[in-house]
Amino acid sequence: MLVVEGLVKRFGGFTAVSNVSFKVDQGEILGLIGPNGSGKSTIFNMLSGTFPPSAGSIKFEGHEIAGLAPHRIINRGIGRTFQIPRPFRRLTIFENVELAGFYGQGSHSRAKADEAAEKALAMVGLPTDRRAPVDGLGAAGLKKLELAKALATSPKLLLADESLGGLDEAEMDQAADMLRKIRDELGITIIWVEHIMGVLMRVVDRVMVLDHGEKISEGLPSAVSSDPKVIEVYLGTDADATQAAAAEKRR
Ligand SMILES: Nc1ncnc2c1ncn2[C@@H]1O[C@H](COP(=O)(O)OP(=O)(O)OP(=O)(O)O)[C@@H](O)[C@H]1O
Ligand SMILES: [Mg+2]
């Protein structure tokens, strides 16, 4: 479905993503992990057209999309969430999602956008009541709203920049289960970015690990979490390693 080759992003003299290649198969959940600043969101920004790559190729369903504008990419079926939710606070929850559906689907049909918004809100478990305000949503609610907005664009591939840092353990598990449900019930392929490894490992089919903009490991969760390179640069502490091992057992 997605074939990325030699992806590079430079900001001035700094290389944030360095020659990264990977593939995503239809129907899989690929986990993308790595420490803070390793280039995860930058990869999403290039896949979604937020900014163009400095070099490299991104083929989606056989077509080159590197450097296309965000609205063209979303209309081809790549939806994304943002790590830091910034909803329109003067619109209702429903209106935020409806707006995403209206422009994201490319059809500019209010009826289709409304239908997509209702389905998306029900999927993530937010109120479909059209008057419910954005204010009052906590960290978990705002992340659900991000997901609903992305789903309303009817993506084939969902880029979920989750960063569950602000959530408690139950909320993290819920978020992980929701991504699996989105894949299982809607058939949407997912790349999931997260730097808390334990919760991600439970859900993904495959994992890719970045460090300082370079891909350092890729494979099944069990193989990646015992890769010495990953343990060294990513896990760092014994506490994190124990957490990842425990998550592996729960799979
Ligand atoms: N627009 C930008 N201009 C300049 N530097 C940037 C820009 N966006 C990202 N960077 C830098 O690129 C590097 C990678 O950032 P990125 O946001 O991709 O990391 P990340 O892996 O998503 O980290 P986190 O886990 O904290 O979300 C960082 O050093 C960051 O400061
Ligand atoms: Mg990020």
Query: Tell me: the pLDDT tens digits for 72-121?
Result: 999 999 999 999 999 999 999 999 999 999 999 888 899 999 999 999 99
The protein residue with its alpha carbon nearest to ligand 1, atom 31, reads 37
Cβ-based neighbour number of residue 12 at 10 Å: 5
Residue 231 to residue 211: CA distance in whole angstroms: 12
Query: Tell me: the pLDDT tens digits for 157-198?
Result: 999 998 776 778 888 888 899 999 999 999 999 999 987 778
CA of residue 6 to ligand 2 center, whole Å: 20
CA of residue 133 to ligand 1 center, whole Å: 31
Residue 201 to residue 214: CA distance in whole angstroms: 20
Q: Which atom number of ligand 1 is nearest to the Cα of residue 83?
A: 27
This model's pTM is above 0.75: yes
Task: Please report which helix (H) or strand (E) contains residue 193, including its range.
Answer: strand 189-193
Say if ligand 1 is within 6 A of residue 138 CB: no
CA of residue 39 to ligand 2 center, whole Å: 7
Say if ligand 1 is within 6 A of residue 36 CB: yes
